[in-house]
Structure 1
Amino acid sequence: MKKKSLLVFIICMFAFQMLLPTLKVQAAKALAYWSEETEEVYEPLLPYTLEWSGDVLKNGGFDLDSGRITTDKTIADFVINQYGDIGARKIAELPKQSLDEPINIANVSFPTDGLGYPLTSLKVKLDSTYLIQLDSGDFAKVHIDQVSSSKVNFTFVVQTDTLPDEDPTLPDEDEEEVDVIDLTSSQSSVSMDVGQSKSVSLTAKYSNNSKKTVTNAAKWKSEKPSIASVTKGTIKGVSAGQTIISAEYEGITIKIKVSVKSKTVKPIKGIAGTAVAAGDSHTLVLKKNGTVWSFGKNQTGQLGNGNTKNQYTPVQVKGLKNVKDIAAGYNFSLALKKDGTVWMWGNPLASVYGPRSTPYQIKSLKNVVDIAAGEEHMIALKKDGTVWVWGNNSYGQGGIGKTSPATITNPVKVTKLSKVTEIAGGRYHTLAVKSDGTIWTWGNNERNQIGDGKTGSSLMKNVLVPYQVKLLTKVKSVSGGTYYSLAVKSDGTVWSWGFNDASQLGIVKTSAYQNKPAKVLGEDGEGYLNQIKQADGGYRHTLAVANDGSLYTWGENTYGKLGIGTETSIYDVWSDGANSAVPAKVSLTKVIQAEAGSEHTVAITADGTIWTWGFNDYGQLGVGKKYSKKKVPAKVLRAN
């Protein structure tokens, strides 16, 4: 080889090695399978790497369904850990062989323990190949390319058939030809949880009255793979919903009803309403015993502890007992007692109320069942379904048909609104959900937060009476961000509209304004969020809590308030600067409720632990010191 050609070859090989890390994600999207029907031999996928630090796995294993490395070991098809073990449902070490050579699974002997049960883990050996069983029932070969004390590199391939070509369950070709006259399944319907797998067997009845199991030979199909997938009779729940699984064999088709449900994390027994609330720079916590605790900024007495000093650790609000719900505004706080009375402290409007550092009762309000807070206005929902507002009304957020008076000193009933079940407040606008699932908004609309679908000169800048957002039905809850709105529908999807300057709407970005509801994208921008039970908007960042306790955040990520361990975007394609336009999953699990403040976030998990992250300039994280920020959730106290 000439020197010049050799130099070109070396440069090309170097460039390819440098490109490999960027190809890993692409390879995961192009999973290749060996199949009896196509008689194709597949190539191994590009190498992957699992890393860990100390006893904490950075990456837990590989999930075939999503085609990527995952930290959630409960959904991983196989796991390699820091102790040098490789684990799966069934596992065996294979003799030396090429990865792209299909094998007869029936000829493989899987090792067992002393009681005869299959081993689920073996020691990792360099240059060894392991056969593992996947969730779907298929098998994969995993080759260990490199291994060290901190990481392991591996390559794998998937085999969807067992070999040999002949299916031993079928009639011998030399025998008298018979026809299939009927097909039956072991189950006519299947009910399962998301992530769970269940197997169904098929039996064919022949014209000579013989019966054979034909599960592997049938063609399986799911009408909605996004709800449940199927491979050779093994059904796996993907997301909540219903679908039909069909199996076809020799011209006969049988259908199986599949219902997939999402596991729901239950709220803490004894806390009926909101357990955590986030104001501009202060935080409230409702404990199981009915007391309220606070921390953070306190210049106007919004902590309710009798003074106006900032508090870096939780302090009990004075004189409050038997509380069942809380809400936090810009610099004030609200509490709803079990007897239906409303209590308030802080300073929403200095010219009217003055600083109030201990709770006082709003005496004109009785029989209240829910409370909410905007920046400077307060909202109460009565048992009879009417909504009452007081505080700042300069943009019509009072819903009384006019902006005069600019300050409503005593609660007034919102005009032409009844049968309300849910309420929420944005900065200068208000939202409500009626019993029929319709959503109504009023107040400031300069940034399309009302959702009337209008633009330009036709845009209603101040909406003085409740306006129905006509594109949304079957709504179960709402939330107001600074200049935007959120709704969660009964099907668990999340919808957003209004100002989108920091990608806080979580939608496909077209402009800084969205004048009508749009569906929020799913994690990593794939599909859409579903099975969500609560959403909340802050200053320019948003969060959503799923039924299974997962927590997603998106929007502006200054000070790490998204809780994903970074201040910069992890989705460069979708975002600008430090903002994430698609939901990112926070490491917390079993979350039952969360709230977004201006620059911080607070959440409560099913064990009663309160977690905070983001900016801490006034002590709003409650972690005991004036840290500048926390980029991942930090424990604060227990609510139970």
Structure 2
Amino acid sequence: MPRKKVVESGAAPAPARASNRARKSPESLATTQANISKPRATKRKADEPENEPKGKKARVTDTTPTASTKQSKPAPKTAAAKSKAAPTKSTAMKRKASDEDIKAPQPKKSKTAASASRPIAKATTTKKAASKPAAEPATTKSTTKPAPKKSTTPKKIAEPTTKKAAPPKKVAPATVPKQKPAPKAKVPKPAKLVKALPTINDPPTQRLDVLVFGEGSGGELGLGAKHSGARKVVDVSRPRLNQLLSAKDVGVVQIAVGGMHCAALTHDNKILTWGVNDQGALGRHTDEGPMKDMKDDDASDSDSDDEDSGLNPSEAEPREVDPKHFPEGTKFASLYAGDSSTFALTTTGLVYGWGTFRGNEGIVGFRPEGAKGSSQRTPMLIPELKNIVDIATGTNHVLALDTKGTLYVWGTGEQNQLGRRVIERTSRLALKPNDIGLRRKKIVKIGSGDYHSFAIDDKDNVYSWGLNSFGQTGIPKVGKDEDIVGAPTLVKNLKGMKLKQVTGGSHHTIACTVDGEVLKWGRVESSEAGFDVSNLPDEEVYKEDGKARYLKKPKAVPGLKATFVATANDTCLIVSPDGTAYSWGFSEGYQTGLGVGGDVKLATKIDNTAVRAENLIWAGVGGQFGVLAGTPKEDEDEA
């Protein structure tokens, strides 16, 4: 059979070629039809499916004679009559006859009434239906065979309405996707995953007054950005009641002190932050703030009212962290602060954090998946931590304890403060919390220095690790160059001492026992001991050139009792059982609250009008400032 040539439907034949075809005899016309493998269709493009590729055979369902029949209803009758009686009539009539013969459907192979409306339907049938019948009129020499086929045309022209029944065939598959939404009824399943977690941490309820003191040039005192007469918001040498955090108006129940920022939890479940926000430690967006241009002749000590301090109000004032960052119904139990990071522990044991960690080379980041050198500016859930009951923070590392006694650590570990070796190539993986190698021990208490860590088990055994350049871990140094304790190690010198609390500064440690005894060890050359160490024997203190450098063993501070201890860098604060406070150590920024600069060698009671009005229960130390918190005595008197 001759190869079929595909002709685009809707392309009208050129008039010249139609005229030549009209002059041929029926025999030559039959021969011409045999040479045309694909008959031309005069059907308009509007009747073609829009998505039908050109050059391909049209589908049966797309050969609707509705539009083409309306265009040339008289044509089939005229063409059929003229092809039998007068093949040599006018050119125009013969063109119509030949075109209609080409596009008329074939009745034999059509499976629908619509496809049988024309004698020859090569272009509109499937391959099986078009191949055999298409050759019959082209190869036969008798001109009488096409006549009977055309005679049926008038009968079928009246049936274009039957094609309108075809669209349901297209609707049928369209109804299939509409049945697919049925499985969407299972959407409520996620609601089952959201379970109410049990409460394992109870938040404090006692409302506290907050007293601040120290240098405060970064707004870390939270006194605002305006001086009020002689009462400046920086260089506060003695404790001052922060009116922006009063017990009556705000109701702070717990405080965390970082390097140069603070966070406070209120009785109504708000988180307030203030201080330096360079690495996102405040967990909220802050304005750039004004910068004061200090001149040589500037009266910086002026006592004029409302003098601008040059501080950024959005940092220097306690402001709330937006609760939209936490799921609805989240309740907080306590807050914790590192050098440039902050963490919030919920009543259900989940942990949220923000800020960043720093290393020897600068900013490391907050999470391993984050960009190097980036900061987490708003609170995010720490996904690895669940059922957490306590947190301790160092300068750039964190410890978290869960209900099973498992200890997790993360941050930077360049001084082995994570209890494992951290190499540069995998250092970012250390930003993800991992449990430490104390699986056989049930840890019940934790503590941290700036670069060293502590864990206490249920048998009162104390383990420590990290930087040990001044014996601050409590583990004696064997040689001068052994400055690191690489893994959790039992502190034998604390055996039998029931520690209530333990915390550390840069190179020293302070602790208190359940009996209130205050213990000190580590560096003492910057007056960190709080008592005279010059006469101690060599087995208790390490000396160089006759000067004591560090305590080899934990040593009790004579005549001092404490219910709470705090330290940072080289400054110490303690709260005694009678609600008073003592401090000692480095005081260049007035961070001892004693109103003096330089070192304070002996533990000294903090005493001024603001302190006397409070029953102190808590203390905290930052880089160059200090914080005390207590309950107003007048409230106790009224009670």
TM-score for the superposition, normalised by structure 2: 0.48
Whichever of the two has the greater Rg, that structure is 2
- The structure whose residues are more often strand, as a share, is 1
TM-score for the superposition, normalised by structure 1: 0.48
- The structure whose residues are more often helix, as a share, is 2
Higher relative contact order (CA 8 A, sep 6+): 2
